[in-house]
Amino acid sequence: MTRVVIIGGSGHVGTYLVPRLVEAGYEVVNVSRGQRAAYTLNAAWKSVEPVVTDRDTEEKAGTFGEKVRALKADIVVDMISFTLDSTMQIVGALRGEVQHFLHCGTIWVYGHNTAIPATEDQPKNPFGSYGTQKAEIETWLLNEARRNGFPATVFRPGHIVGPGWEPLNPAGHFDVGVFAQIARGEPLVLPNLGNETVHHVHADDVAQMVMRAIANWSNAVGEAFNTVSPQAINLRGYAEAMYNWFGHAPQLSYEPFDTWKGKQTEENWRATWEHIARSPSHSIAKARNLLGYDPRYSSLQAVYESVEWLVANGKLSR
């Protein structure tokens, strides 16, 4: 039986990926800190081997890679590597030991896009520590695959959504209060003209991408794949759709960003700036053609499911 080790498998994507792997007949090991359960219940978790460890502590001691190697995986899916040093340590330990290594990247490696929808061969313009460090990891990892034969694949999720947590909202941040305003039919002010874009992806579609990459090893190794819904949405269209979904006519107005941010908390306006400064919009043609990736959810369908969960669990007051 093929053995798959997922590092950080109890999070958004692991909630869906682990059951997919178990149901497909893989032997699954979940390496995590053991502090969080999956977002949705599934009997498949009874078949999963849990390994509890703190990655940061182990990496500082120089033992994390060796600990993962000792698990004797055929396939390793790394959901939580955020620095090049972290990735280099685990690759060093797994070189010659695994059939496939899949790294969770991010669409933020693009920074601002030169053309949209952005394709994987488009130049990357990352800014900010997260996107820049992820770009460094991706560049190094794909070079290792193409020049030195390490069997790596990178998948780049967009704004991950699904039941159990708050989705990126139509104002470009994560305050559930924006959905509450819309649910009550109250006016909402958006920055600029609301034409900047965001690009969601349902966590189960990210899990689908991993499964497709594993199943299409020869097309996946040495490649990076955008992992998003079929289309991005702009803030204005997103807000209008949510008003309609809650049964209200849209009540939108607009302000220049510098005026708008003065009426927001610092946390919220900074989150919005981080998103609209990038305005992601990405193509999935490469993943469709090489892997057969076929997202089940549009951006709005993924958000609707998330918001339904918020309402059902009393986290969104109308």
One digit per residue, pLDDT tens: the chain, 318 residues?
899 999 999 889 999 999 999 999 999 999 998 766 676 778 888 999 999 999 999 999 999 999 999 999 999 999 999 999 999 999 999 999 999 999 999 999 999 998 999 999 999 999 999 999 999 999 999 999 999 999 999 999 999 999 999 999 999 999 999 999 999 999 999 999 999 999 999 999 999 999 999 999 999 999 999 999 999 999 999 999 999 999 999 999 999 999 999 999 999 999 999 999 999 999 999 999 999 999 999 999 999 999 999 999 999 876
User: Within 13 Å and on the Cβ side, how many CA atoms surround 278?
Assistant: 29
Give the pLDDT confidence score for residue 35 in this predicted structure.
62
The CATH architecture of the domain made up of 3-160+201-227 is 3-Layer(aba) Sandwich (3.40)
Q: What is the dihedral of CA 286, 288, 292, 295, to 10 degrees?
A: 130
Burial class (CB in 10 A: 0-12, 13-18, 19+), 33: middle
User: Within 13 Å and on the Cβ side, how many CA atoms surround 69?
Assistant: 14
CA angle 81, 39, 85 (to 5 degrees): 5
Give residue 72's region: left, alpha or beta (phi > 0; psi -120 to 50). left
What's the CATH code, domain 164-199+231-280+298-312?
Answer: 3.90.25
Question: Would you say 24 and 75 are in contact if contact means Cβ atoms under 8 Å apart?
Answer: no
- Calpha distance 141→146 (Å, rounded): 9
Q: What ranges do the domains of the chain cover?
A: 3-160+201-227, 164-199+231-280+298-312
Can you tell me whether residue 282 is helix, strand or coil?
strand
**H or E stretch including 227?**
strand 224-227
Secondary structure percentages of the chain, helix, strand, coil, to 5? 40, 20, 40
* Sign of the alpha-carbon dihedral angle for 300, 165, 16, 95: positive
